[in-house]
C-alpha cells in the first residue's frame, strides 16, 4: 500500500508539473485584431470615413432621397424599396431597419475618434493633425445625424462610447435637439479642419461651411441669414462651377473645383457598386433598382435641357421589361463607370449656389436669387433665363432648377420636405400614360417610423 | 476458516475480457506441483486463479506439456483426473474447486451444445446456474455437461455474444444454445470518457450504436449512422447535397448562440466534426447523454459527447475484408409547376410579354440520377502482444443535381503493441482527402439558387441561347435557368484531414496504470470558384469572377491519466485522475478578383483586378484537471463521481476556470436476494445522476476589447470588453431504468431528464442606435426536459428470427430567461426584406415561427386577409404572433430485422412528429408578383369578385400576399422508410475451399418513401443550420432516394 501511494504521488506530481510548465497557456491575445493599447488615431479616422462606403451611402441613399421623390421609380425585385417608392413602409421595412443601423454604426465610429483621440498617447501625431482629426470626425458625426434627422425626425443623440450593452438604451430626442447637436459639431469642426484639400474625399472648411448652409436651410425654422453667411464662406474658399456639366460625372472629372465633398472610388479598394444597381454596366442586364421617372424626363424635355438630361440619364434597350417604361428604358447616367470608379458627389458648389439663391429670395432679394439661377446655373448648360414675378414664383423656379441640376444625387426628397411641397407634388404624380400613381402621401408618412428592431431591443426609445 | 487468497490484476477493462480465452499458451514442465503450473499459466494467459490453499490436490506433481493451446484446453488437461474443476468469472478470474462443489448430484446431468449464429461450436462458453456459483464451460466441441434440476435457469454467456438464459424443464435433458454476437449484452464493454466500463456498471445515460446497426447502408457522413438509432439523439440533414454535414443534437438544444453540437472524440482525439470519417472504419459510437457521464469532458460536455471507436485488430489469423457497393439515386418527389400555356396566361395577366415558345420541364432537366460507389479494403489481425487494423476506402457520391459531387479517399492504420511487459502503445492514424463540388441551394433564383431556379424558371425558354450563353428569365435578366446556376460557376472544394494519436499505457505496478495520450487533428480546406466571362450574365458583367479560400486548422491534445483499480471482498473501486491540455491554431486566407481575359485559366493569377486578399489567424486553448471514482459493492450498488476543473482561453483570467462535478448511482435490483425467486425480470437496474457541464463554443476572442481592421486602412472598434464572460453551464438530472425480461429477450431502457442551462452565452443584439453589432454575454437560461424510451426485443427465435429495436424521444425546450434587457431575439431572415421569421422570447421554445395570421383570400378583393390582433387600425408589426414551433413533440426510430436461414431482411423507419416548417419555397412558388414560374396550385388563383379560393390574385410587384404568415406554415411531421435492406450470407464448403470465411451480398434502399403532409420536396431540411433559426425551407436541396447493391467478403 505504501509503495502504491508513492507511485501515485510521483505520477500525479509529474502530471501537474507537465501541465503547469506553460504558465500563459490560456492567455491567447487576438492575432488579427488590435487591442486598445495598440491602436492609433489615423486608422480610427479612416475607419470612421469608411462608413461612407457602406450600403446606405453607396446605394440606399438613392432609394430614400430619390426613389421616395418624383425623380426615380423603384425597380429590381426588392419589395422593401417598392414600399419606399409607394409610401407603404412600416417599421419592419428592411431599408428602414438597415439604414438606421448603418447611420448609427457610423456615428459610433465617429464617437470613438472623438472620445479616444483627445487622450491618446500617439507620439507620431502632431497637435495640428490631432485637431484636424477631431474636426473631421465631428463633421462626419454631424453629417450622419443630418441624414438621420431628415429621414426620421426625432432620433436618439449619442455622443459617447458605451462600456456595455446596458448603456445603449437611449431615448429619441426632439428634432431641435438633434439639429443643435449637428450645429455644435460643425462649429467645433470649422476652425479645426484644413481650409482646402486636393482629395475631395477629405473634410475641409468648404465641406463644413456647405453642410452648415444646408443644415440651416433644412431646420424646421430655417435661418436664411445663416444659410447666406455659410454659402458666402464656401464661395470665399475659391469654389467655382466647371464649364462642362457632364464632366462632373466622368472619372476624368473627379475632384473638380466645383466639388466640395465627394466619396472617392478607385474600383478596387472601393468600388462604386451603385453603378451595378442602377445600370447594366457592372453586374449585368437585370432589372435595375433605380429608374428615372417620366416626371424628371419630362422636366428636362420641357426645359429643352439636353445637356443635363444626357449627363443624368441614358436610354438603352434592356433584356428585361420595365414596369414603367417601354423600350428603350432610361437608366441613371451619373455613375457610369463600368469599373466602378465613378465618385459619389455629396456636396457640390452648384447646390450651394442654389441655396444662396434661395436664401436671397427668402430674405427679400428675388432678383439676386434669380440672377444666380440664370447667370450661373442655367447659363452653364446653355439654357435661357427664367423670370419670376414674386418670391413664391422664384422659389418654384429654384426648386425646379435644383431638381434638374442635382438629379439623382440624393437631394430631391429633402428639398420637397423642407419646402412643404412633398405631399402636393407626390400626389400629383402620373405614369407615362397619364394615369395617377396613387401615392396617397400624407403628413404622417413624411418621416420613417422608428425601426421595429430598435423598438424591440430598446425599452427607452419612446420614453 | 477457508482462506481465499484473492489476487487481482488490474488492467484497463478494455483489455480484460477479450483475452480470457483468446490466449494461446505454451507450458512444458516435469514433476511440478499443479499450483506452480497454475502460476505459470497465470503469467502466460494474463488471468488470475482463485483457489483454496487447503486443496491438497494442488500440491500433486504432474508432467504437463501444452503448446499453443487455448487456456481452457490446457486447464482441462491439467485438471483431468484430479477431481478438480474450474469456473470462469468476470475480469479474468478463474476459480479452481473440487468438482463435487459444482456437481453435487451426478444423476441430474443436463448437457448441450453451444454454437454461434453460423453453427460453429463455441469453446469456453460459460454455463452458470442462475443465482448460484455452480457452472462449467464448453469444450472444444462446444459441449457442456453439468448437473441441474428442473426449475434452474442456465445462463449461457460468452464474450462478444448476447447472454442467453435457458430454463431447465427436466432434471435430465439436452439444452442447446445458439449465441448471437451482440452489442447489448450486460457484460458488454462500453466506452466511456477516459476508459471503459461494463455496461452493467454504467450509472449514467449512455447509448451505444455499433457497426452492425448501419452495416448495409450507404453512409457518407458518419453522423447519418446515428439518426433514429439512439433515444435522445436527434439528427437531421439540413441539406441532401452530397457530402453535406448533419445537425446532431443530444437531448435538445441547450444553447442559443454557442455551439449545440456534441463533442466528438475519435479514439481519444477531440475533433471538430465527423463529416470526414469513413463510417466503415467505425466499430461503435458511445453517446454520453447525461451530465454524469459527460461531466468527465466538463468543457464542451453540455451538448453531450459522442465517443467513436474505430475498428481494431483482434487476436488470431489475419483477416482481409472487402466491402463494395454501387447504386443510384433520384428525388422521390416532383413539384407540379405551370406548363408553357399556363405560365404565359399568368404572365399576360400581370402585364408581361414573353415571346419564347419552348416548353421545358426544368425539374426534368436539372434533377437527374445520382450515383453512389464505395469500396473498402481492410486487413486486420494480431497476436497477444501486437494487433493491427489497416484500411483503405474510396467513396463517391454524385448528386441528383449535377454537377454536385463528393469523392473521398481514406486510409487508416490502428496499431496496438505491447512493447514491454509494462508498456502498451496504441497508435491510430487516419488520413482523409475529399473533393466536393457544390451546387448553390438555400437561395432564390435571383441569388443563383439551383433548386428554386428549377421550379421558377419559365418553361418557355431553353437551356442555351444560340450564341452558347445560358438563358435567363426573359422578363428578368440575371434570373438564370437551373443549369446555368449549377454549371455556370466552376467550383471545387478539397478537404484534407489527418487525425491521429499515440497513447502509451504504463503499468507501474499492479492496479496502477499511467496513460499518456497525444492526439492531433489537422484540417486543410481549399475552395476555388470561377465564373467564366462569357456564359452567364453576371460573369459577362464582371468579365469573369474568381474566389478562393484556404483554411488550416491544427489542434493538438495531450492527456495524462493515472488509473487505480482495486477489488477486495465485495468491493470494487476504480479511481482516475488526469490532466489535459489542448491548443488550436487556425489560419485562413481569402482572395477575390475579376476581369479575366478568357475562360481558359480560372485561378486568380489570371484576374486583372484583385478585389480582396486577406489572411487571418486565431488560436484557442484549454487546460483541465479531472478526477473520477467508480465504486461498486457486490455489483449491486454502484456509484460514480466525477469532477473536472476546466480553463478556456475564451474567457478572461478572472472567470476562466469552471468546476464541473457530477455524481450518479445505480442499484441493480435484480441482484438482490428478494429478486432471486421472481421470474419476470432477468435484469433490473435503477440509475440516478446529477451533474454539471460547460460550453465555451463562442468566438475565440469575444471577451477582448477589439479594434478590427476593415481592410482599407481603417480600424473599427467592434467588440466591447467583457471582463466577466464565463462558461455557459448546464445542470442535468437524470433518472433511468434498465430492465430485461423473458430471459433477456426483451430489454427496456427508460430515461427521464431535466437540463437547465444558465449563464447562457448569448449574442446579444444591441439596439441598432448603439452602433455596435452583436456582443456575447452570459445572460438568460434555457430548459430542456425529456423522456426517452428504448426497447430491444427478440420477438421470434425459431427458424425465423425477428428482432425489434425501437426508440422514442420526447424533448420540451423552453427559453426561461433572457437577462434584464433583452426582450426578444430574431433569426431566420426571409428573402427579400420580409424580416425574420423566427423569434426567441422567454417562455417559448427555440424555433418559434413568428408572423401574421392569414385568414385566407378575401373573396371581394382577392387579397390575403391578415388578422388584426392589436386592435389598432391597419395591419402593423404588432399584429404578428406565434404561428408554430419547429421543434418536434417527439422523434422516433424503429428497426426490424428478420433472419431466416441465410437471409436477413431489415427495415428502418424514422420519423419526427409535431413540428412546423416555414415553407419559404412555397412563398416563391405562389407569390405571383413577378415573372417567375409558379406552382400548379396558382391555377386556382382568385380572378373574379366573389370567388372563393385559397390562392390570392396575381399582383405584379406586390408582396402583400406573401408576408411572413400562417399561410406558409406547414406541418412537417414525417415518417420515413429510411432504409430497407435484404442480405444473403453464403455458407457451405465452397467458401472454405475458396479461402473465404464470410461472404454476403445485400441490396438496400434508402429514403424509399416518406409519409408527410408537407408540401415541399422534403420535410427534413433547413435553410439555416443554427439551432436558433431552424424551421425554414427555402429551396433546400432535398434528400435523395438511393438504391445500392453491395457485397462483403472476408478472407
What would the pLDDT profile of B180-203 be if each residue is shown by its tens digit? 765 444 456 777 777 777 777 788
pLDDT for position B16: 34
What is the rounded average pLDDT of the residues A391-406? 97
pLDDT for position B171: 66
Residue by residue, DSSP assigns B736-755 as EEEEEETTTTEEEEEEEEEE
Q: Which has more confidence, B332 or B145?
A: B332
CB B622 to CB A97 under 8 A?
Answer: no
Grid cell for residue B922: 412555397
> B328-384 pLDDT, tens per residue?
999 989 999 999 999 999 999 988 888 888 899 999 999 999 999 999 999 998 887
pLDDT for position A23: 67
Work out the pLDDT band at B317, boundaries 50, 70, 90: confident
**Residue A108: half-sphere exposure toward Cβ, Cα within 13 Å:** 24
Nearest chain B residue to A108 by CA distance is: B771
CB B768 to CB A97 under 8 A?
Answer: yes
Best of A114, A284, A458 to disrupt the B interface by mutation (most B CBs within 10 Å)? A284
CB B619 to CB A31 under 8 A?
Answer: yes
Best of B767, B819, B821, B877 to disrupt the A interface by mutation (most A CBs within 10 Å)? B767
Question: Which residues 105-144 of A have a C-beta within 8 angstroms of B?
Answer: 105-109, 111-112
Nearest chain B residue to A89 by CA distance is: B876
The Cα–Cα gap between A151 and A135 comes to 25
Residue that is written with C-alpha cell 486565431 in the block = B618
Q: Which has more confidence, B754 or B743?
A: B754
pLDDT at B10 over 50: no
pLDDT at B39 over 50: yes
pLDDT for position B4: 31
pLDDT at A57 over 70: yes
Q: Report the range of poorest mean pLDDT among A83-92, B100-109, B454-463, B599-608.
A: B100-109
Nearest chain B residue to A104 by CA distance is: B771
Work out the pLDDT band at B159, boundaries 50, 70, 90: low
CB B769 to CB A285 under 8 A?
Answer: no
Q: Provide the percentage of residues in chain B whose pLDDT is more than 90.
A: 51
pLDDT at B1045 over 90: yes
Query: In DSSP terms, which residues pair with A317 in a beta bridge?
Result: none
Q: How far is B770 from chain A (nearest CA, A)?
A: 5
Contacts of A94 in chain B (CB under 8 A): 832-835
CB B623 to CB A166 under 8 A?
Answer: no
Q: Is the peptide bond before A408 cis (omega within 30 degrees of 0)?
A: no
CB A158 to CB B771 under 8 A?
Answer: yes
Helix A41-49 to helix A127-152 angle, to the nearest 10 degrees?
20
> A114-137 pLDDT, tens per residue?
999 999 888 889 999 999 999 999
pLDDT at B589 over 50: yes
**Strand bridging mode B1032-1033 / B916-919:** parallel
How much of chain B is in helix, strand and coil states, percent to nearest 5?
Answer: 15, 50, 35
pLDDT for position B77: 83
Nearest chain A residue to B584 by CA distance is: A28
Residue by residue, DSSP assigns A332-361 as E-SS--TTS---EEEEEHHHHHHHHHHHHH
Query: Dmax over Cα atoms in chain B, in whole Å?
Result: 112
Closest to A112 (Cβ–Cβ): which among B474, B709, B717? B717
Q: Does A3 touch chain B (CB under 8 A)?
A: yes
Nearest chain B residue to A171 by CA distance is: B769
CB A163 to CB B721 under 8 A?
Answer: yes
Work out the pLDDT band at B776, boundaries 50, 70, 90: very high
Q: How far is B724 from chain A (nearest CA, A)?
A: 12
CB B537 to CB A168 under 8 A?
Answer: no
Closest to B581 (Cβ–Cβ): which among A7, A19, A29? A19
Q: How far is B785 from chain A (nearest CA, A)?
A: 29
What is the rounded average pLDDT of the residues B421-432? 93
Q: Report the range of poorest mean pLDDT among A32-36, A279-283, B115-119, B1022-1026.
A: B115-119
Q: Does A323 touch chain B (CB under 8 A)?
A: yes
Closest to A457 (Cβ–Cβ): which among B622, B623, B767? B767
Determine contact, residues B127/B156, Cβ cutoff 8 Å: yes
The closest of A388, A412, A387 to A299, measured between CA atoms, is A412
ipTM, 2 decimals?
0.92
pLDDT for position B52: 64
pLDDT at A78 over 60: yes
Query: Strand runs (DSSP E) across B454-511, as ranges?
Result: 489-509
Work out the pLDDT band at B510, boundaries 50, 70, 90: confident
The dihedrals phi and psi of B45, each to the nearest 5 degrees, come to -105, 0
The closest of B193, B198, B225 to B212, measured between CA atoms, is B225
CB B777 to CB A162 under 8 A?
Answer: no
pLDDT for position B205: 83
End-to-end Cα distance, chain A: 74
Residue by residue, DSSP assigns B605-653 as GG-SEEEEEEEEEEEEEEEEEEEEEEEEETTTEEEEEEEEEEEETTS-G
Q: Which has more confidence, B141 or A260?
A: A260
pLDDT for position B940: 94
pLDDT for position B247: 85
> B883-903 pLDDT, tens per residue?
999 999 999 999 999 999 889
**Distance of CA B931 to CAs B344, B485, B960, B971, Å?**
10, 18, 17, 29
The closest of B250, B253, B252, B392 to B307, measured between CA atoms, is B250
pLDDT for position A302: 96
Question: For every residue of B294-308, which 3-state class applies, written as one string?
Answer: HHHHCCCCCCCEEEE
How crowded is residue B158: how many other Cβ atoms within 10 Å of its Cβ?
26
CB B717 to CB A109 under 8 A?
Answer: yes
| Mean pLDDT of chain B, nearest integer | 87
> B976-1033 pLDDT, tens per residue?
999 999 999 988 888 888 888 889 999 999 999 999 999 999 998 887 877 788 889 9
Amino acid at each position: 500500500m505504501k509503495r502504491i501511494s508513492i507511485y501515485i504521488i510521483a505520477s500525479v506530481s509529474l502530471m501537474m508539473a507537465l501541465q503547469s510548465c506553460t504558465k500563459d497557456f490560456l492567455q491567447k491575445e487576438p492575432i488579427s485584431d488590435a487591442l486598445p493599447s495598440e491602436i492609433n488615431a489615423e486608422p480610427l479616422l479612416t475607419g470612421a470615413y469608411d462608413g461612407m462606403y457602406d450600403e446606405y451611402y453607396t446605394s440606399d441613399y438613392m432609394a430614400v432621397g430619390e426613389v421616395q421623390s418624383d425623380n426615380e421609380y423603384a425597380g429590381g425585385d426588392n419589395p422593401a424599396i417598392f414600399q419606399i417608392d409607394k409610401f407603404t413602409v412600416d417599421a419592419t421595412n428592411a431599408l428602414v431597419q438597415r439604414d438606421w443601423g448603418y447611420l448609427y454604426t457610423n456615428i459610433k465610429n465617429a464617437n470613438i475618434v472623438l472620445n479616444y483621440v483627445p487622450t491618446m498617447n500617439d507620439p507620431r501625431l502632431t497637435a495640428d493633425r490631432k485637431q484636424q482629426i477631431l474636426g473631421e470626425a465631428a463633421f462626419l458625426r454631424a453629417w450622419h445625424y443630418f441624414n438621420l434627422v431628415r429621414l426620421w425626425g426625432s432620433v436618439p443623440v449619442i455622443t459617447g462610447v458605451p462600456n456595455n450593452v446596458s448603456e445603449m438604451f437611449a431615448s429619441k430626442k426632439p428634432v431641435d435637439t438633434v439639429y443643435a447637436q449637428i450645429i455644435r459639431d460643425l462649429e467645433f469642426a470649422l476652425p479645426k479642419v484644413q481650409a482646402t484639400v486636393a482629395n475631395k474625399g477629405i473634410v475641409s472648411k468648404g465641406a463644413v461651411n456647405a453642410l452648415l448652409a444646408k443644415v440651416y436651410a433644412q431646420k424646421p425654422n430655417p435661418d436664411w441669414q445663416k444659410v447666406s453667411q455659410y454659402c458666402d464662406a464656401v464661395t470665399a474658399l475659391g469654389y467655382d462651377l466647371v464649364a462642362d456639366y457632364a464632366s462632373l460625372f466622368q472619372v476624368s472629372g473627379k475632384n473638380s473645383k466645383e466639388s466640395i465633398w465627394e466619396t472617392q472610388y478607385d474600383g478596387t479598394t472601393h468600388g462604386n457598386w451603385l453603378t451595378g444597381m442602377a445600370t447594366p454596366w457592372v453586374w449585368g442586364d437585370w432589372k435595375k433598382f433605380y429608374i428615372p421617372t417620366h416626371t424628371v424626363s419630362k422636366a428636362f424635355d420641357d426645359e429643352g435641357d439636353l445637356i443635363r438630361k444626357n449627363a443624368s440619364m441614358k436610354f438603352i434597350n434592356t433584356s428585361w421589361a420595365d414596369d414603367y417604361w417601354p423600350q428603350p428604358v432610361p437608366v441613371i447616367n451619373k455613375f457610369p463607370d463600368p469599373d466602378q470608379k465613378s465618385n459619389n458627389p455629396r456636396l457640390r458648389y452648384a447646390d450651394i449656389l442654389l441655396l444662396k439663391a434661395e436664401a436671397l429670395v427668402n430674405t427679400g432679394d428675388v432678383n439676386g436669387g434669380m440672377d444666380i439661377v440664370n447667370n450661373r446655373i442655367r447659363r452653364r448648360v446653355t439654357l435661357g433665363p427664367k423670370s419670376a414675378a414674386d418670391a413664391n414664383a422664384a422659389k418654384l423656379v429654384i426648386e425646379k432648377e435644383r431638381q434638374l441640376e442635382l438629379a439623382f444625387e440624393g437631394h430631391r426628397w429633402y428639398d420637397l420636405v423642407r419646402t412643404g411641397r412633398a405631399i402636393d407634388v407626390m400626389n400629383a404624380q402620373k405614369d407615362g400614360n397619364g394615369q395617377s400613381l396613387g401615392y396617397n402621401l400624407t403628413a404622417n408618412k413624411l418621416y420613417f417610423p422608428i425601426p421595429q428592431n430598435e423598438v424591440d431591443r430598446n425599452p427607452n426609445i419612446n420614453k | 476458516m477457508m482462506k481465499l487468497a484473492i489476487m487481482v490484476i488490474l488492467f484497463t477493462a478494455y483489455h480484460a475480457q477479450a483475452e480470457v480465452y483468446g490466449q494461446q499458451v505454451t507450458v512444458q514442465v516435469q514433476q511440478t506441483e499443479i499450483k506452480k503450473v497454475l502460476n505459470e499459466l497465470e503469467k502466460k494467459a494474463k488471468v488470475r486463479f482463485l483457489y483454496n490453499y487447503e486443496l491438497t490436490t494442488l500440491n500433486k506433481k504432474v508432467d504437463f506439456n501444452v503448446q499453443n493451446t487455448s487456456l481452457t484446453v490446457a486447464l482441462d488437461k491439467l485438471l483431468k483426473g484430479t477431481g478438480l474443476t474450474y469456473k470462469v468469472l468476470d475480469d479474468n478470474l478463474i476459480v479452481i474447486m473440487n468438482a463435487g462443489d459444482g456437481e453435487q448430484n451426478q444423476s441430474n446431468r443436463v448437457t448441450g451444445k453451444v454454437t454461434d449464429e453460423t453453427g460453429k461450436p463455441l469453446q469456453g462458453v460459460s454455463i452458470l446456474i442462475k443465482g448460484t456459483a455452480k457452472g462449467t464451460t464448453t469444450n472444444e466441441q462446444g459441449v457442456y455437461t453439468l448437473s441441474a434440476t428442473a426449475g434452474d435457469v442456465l445462463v449461457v454467456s460468452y464474450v462478444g455474444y448476447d447472454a442467453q438464459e435457458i430454463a431447465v424443464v427436466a432434471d435430465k435433458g439436452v439444452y442447446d444454445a445458439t449465441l448471437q454476437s451482440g452489442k447489448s449484452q450486460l457484460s458488454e464493454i462500453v466506452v466511456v470518457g477516459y476508459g471503459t466500463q461494463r455496461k452493467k456498471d454504467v450509472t449514467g445515460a449512455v447509448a451505444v450504436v455499433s457497426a452492425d446497426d448501419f452495416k448495409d447502408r450507404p453512409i457518407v457522413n458518419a453522423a447519418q449512422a446515428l439518426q433514429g438509432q439512439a433515444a435522445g439523439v436527434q439528427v437531421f440533414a439540413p441539406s441532401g447535397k452530397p457530402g453535406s454535414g448533419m445537425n446532431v443534437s443530444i437531448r435538445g438544444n441547450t444553447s442559443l448562440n454557442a455551439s449545440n453540437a456534441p463533442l466528438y472524440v475519435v479514439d481519444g482525439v477531440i475533433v471538430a466534426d465527423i463529416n470526414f470519417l469513413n463510417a466503415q472504419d467505425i466499430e461503435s459510437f458511445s453517446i454520453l447523454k447525461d451530465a454524469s457521464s459527460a461531466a468527465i469532458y466538463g468543457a464542451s460536455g453540455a451538448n453531450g459527447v459522442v465517443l467513436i471507436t474505430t475498428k481494431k485488430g483482434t487476436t488470431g489469423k489475419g483477416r482481409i475484408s472487402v466491402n463494395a457497393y454501387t447504386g443510384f439515386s433520384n428525388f422521390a418527389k416532383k413539384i407540379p409547376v405551370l406548363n408553357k400555356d399556363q405560365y404565359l396566361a399568368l404572365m399576360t395577366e400581370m402585364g408581361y410579354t414573353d415571346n419564347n415558345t419552348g416548353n421545358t420541364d426544368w425539374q426534368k432537366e436539372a434533377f437527374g440520377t445520382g450515383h453512389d460507389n464505395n469500396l473498402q479494403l481492410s486487413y486486420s489481425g494480431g497476436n497477444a502482444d501486437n494487433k493491427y487494423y489497416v484500411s483503405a476506402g474510396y467513396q463517391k457520391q454524385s448528386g441528383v443535381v449535377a454537377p454536385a459531387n463528393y469523392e473521398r479517399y481514406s486510409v487508416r492504420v490502428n496499431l496496438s503493441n505491447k512493447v514491454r511487459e509494462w508498456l502498451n502503445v496504441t497508435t491510430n492514424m487516419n488520413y482523409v482527402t475529399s473533393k466536393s463540388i457544390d451546387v448553390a441551394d438555400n437561395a432564390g433564383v435571383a441569388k443563383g439558387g439551383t433548386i428554386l431556379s428549377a421550379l421558377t424558371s419559365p418553361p418557355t425558354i431553353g437551356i442555351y441561347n444560340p450564341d452558347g450563353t445560358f438563358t435567363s428569365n426573359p422578363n428578368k435578366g440575371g434570373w438564370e435557368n437551373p443549369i446555368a446556376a449549377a454549371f455556370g460557376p466552376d467550383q471545387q472544394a478539397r478537404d484534407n484531414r489527418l487525425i491521429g494519436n499515440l497513447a502509451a499505457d504504463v503499468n507501474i505496478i499492479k492496479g496502477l496504470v499511467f496513460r499518456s495520450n497525444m492526439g492531433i487533428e489537422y484540417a486543410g480546406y481549399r475552395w476555388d470558384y470561377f465564373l467564366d466571362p462569357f456564359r452567364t450574365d453576371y460573369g459577362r458583367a464582371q468579365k469573369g469572377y474568381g474566389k478562393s479560400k484556404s483554411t488550416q486548422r491544427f489542434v493538438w491534445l495531450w492527456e495524462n491519466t493515472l488509473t487505480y483499480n482495486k477489488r477486495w471482498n465485495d468491493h470494487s473501486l476504480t479511481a482516475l485522475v488526469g490532466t489535459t491540455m489542448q491548443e488550436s491554431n487556425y489560419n485562413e486566407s481569402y482572395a477575390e478578383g475579376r476581369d479575366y481575359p478568357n475562360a481558359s485559366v480560372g485561378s486568380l493569377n489570371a484576374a486583372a483586378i484583385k478585389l480582396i486578399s486577406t489572411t487571418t489567424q486565431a488560436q484557442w486553448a484549454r487546460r483541465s484537471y479531472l478526477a473520477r471514482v467508480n465504486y461498486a459493492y457486490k455489483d449491486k450498488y454502484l456509484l460514480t463521481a466525477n469532477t473536472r476543473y476546466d480553463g478556456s482561453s475564451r474567457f478572461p483570467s478572472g472567470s476562466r476556470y469552471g468546476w464541473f462535478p457530477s455524481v450518479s448511482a445505480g442499484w441493480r435490483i435484480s441482484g438482490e436476494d428478494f429478486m432471486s425467486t421472481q421470474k419476470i425480470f432477468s435484469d433490473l437496474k435503477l440509475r440516478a445522476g446529477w451533474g454539471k457541464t460547460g460550453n465555451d463554443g463562442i468566438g475565440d476572442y469575444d471577451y477582448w476589447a477589439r479594434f478590427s481592421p476593415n481592410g482599407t486602412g481603417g480600424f473599427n472598434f467592434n467588440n466591447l470588453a467583457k471582463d466577466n464572460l464565463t462558461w455557459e453551464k448546464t445542470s442535468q438530472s437524470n433518472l433511468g431504468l434498465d430492465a430485461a425480461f423473458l430471459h433477456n429477450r426483451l430489454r427496456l431502457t427508460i430515461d427521464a431528464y431535466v437540463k437547465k442551462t444558465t449563464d447562457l452565452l448569448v449574442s446579444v443584439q444591441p439596439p441598432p442606435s448603439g452602433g455596435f453589432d452583436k456582443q456575447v454575454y452570459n445572460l438568460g437560461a434555457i430548459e430542456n426536459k425529456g423522456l426517452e424510451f428504448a426497447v430491444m426485443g427478440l420477438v421470434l427465435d425459431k427458424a425465423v428470427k425477428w428482432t425489434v429495436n425501437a426508440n422514442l424521444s420526447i424533448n420540451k425546450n423552453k427559453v426561461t430567461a433572457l437577462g434584464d434587457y433583452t426582450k426578444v431575439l430574431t433569426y431566420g431572415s426571409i428573402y427579400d426584406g420580409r424580416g425574420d421569421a423566427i423569434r426567441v422570447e422567454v417562455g417559448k421554445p427555440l424555433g418559434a415561427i413568428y408572423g401574421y395570421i392569414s385568414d385566407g383570400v378575401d373573396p371581394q378583393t382577392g387579397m390575403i386577409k391578415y388578422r388584426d390582433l392589436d386592435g389598432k387600425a391597419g395591419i402593423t408589426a404588432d399584429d404578428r404572433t406565434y404561428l408554430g414551433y419547429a421543434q418536434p413533440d417527439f422523434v422516433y426510430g424503429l428497426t426490424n430485422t428478420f433472419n431466416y436461414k441465410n437471409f436477413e431482411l431489415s427495415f428502418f423507419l424514422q420519423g419526427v412528429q409535431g413540428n412546423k416548417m416555414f415553407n419559404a419555397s412555397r412563398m416563391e412558388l405562389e407569390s405571383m408578383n413577378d415573372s417567375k414560374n409558379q406552382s400548379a396550385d396558382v391555377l386556382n388563383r382568385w380572378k373574379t369578385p366573389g370567388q372563393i379560393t385559397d390562392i390570392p390574385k396575381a399582383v405584379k410587384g406586390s408582396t402583400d400576399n406573401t408576408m411572413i404568415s400562417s399561410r406558409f406554415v406547414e406541418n412537417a411531421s414525417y415518417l420515413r422508410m429510411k432504409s430497407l435492406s435484404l442480405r444473403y450470407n453464403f455458407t457451405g464448403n465452397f467458401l472454405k475451399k475458396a479461402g473465404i470465411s464470410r461472404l454476403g451480398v445485400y441490396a438496400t434502399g434508402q429514403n424509399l418513401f416518406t409519409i408527410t403532409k408537407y408540401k415541399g420536396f422534403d420535410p427534413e431540411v433547413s435553410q439555416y443550420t443554427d439551432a436558433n433559426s431552424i424551421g425554414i425551407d427555402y429551396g433546400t436541396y432535398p434528400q435523395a432516394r438511393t438504391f445500392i447493391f453491395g457485397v462483403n467478403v472476408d478472407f
